Amino acid sequence: METLLLNSERRIQSALIEGRMSVDSILIPESYWNQLDDTKRKLLPGKLPYLLRRYTKYVASMKRLHWKGGKILYNRNVGKLRKMSIRVNTGAWSVLGALAAAHGVSRCYLFNYMLWLDDIGVGDSIVETLNRGVPIFHESYRMIWTLDLRQNLISREFYFKPNPLKNRFSYDPHRYDS
What does the pLDDT read at residue 178? 45
Beta-ladder partners of 144: 157
DSSP 18-35: -SSEEEEEEEEEHHHHHH
Residue 92 maps to a domain: yes
Decide if pLDDT at 168 tops 80: no
Q: Average the pLDDT over 151-170 and give the result.
A: 70
Residue 104 maps to a domain: yes
Tally of domains within the chain: 1
Residue 29 maps to a domain: yes
Domain, as residue range, for 72: 21-137
The amino acid present at 29, given as its one-letter code, is: P
Q: Other CB atoms closer than 10 Å to residue 157's CB: what's the count?
A: 13
Decide if pLDDT at 48 tops 80: yes
Residue 167 maps to a domain: no
Residue 173 maps to a domain: no
Residue 61 maps to a domain: yes
Q: Average the pLDDT over 5-30 and give the result.
A: 78
C-alpha–C-alpha distance, residues 114 and 120, integer Å? 10
Residue 152 maps to a domain: no
Residue 13 maps to a domain: no
pTM: 0.77
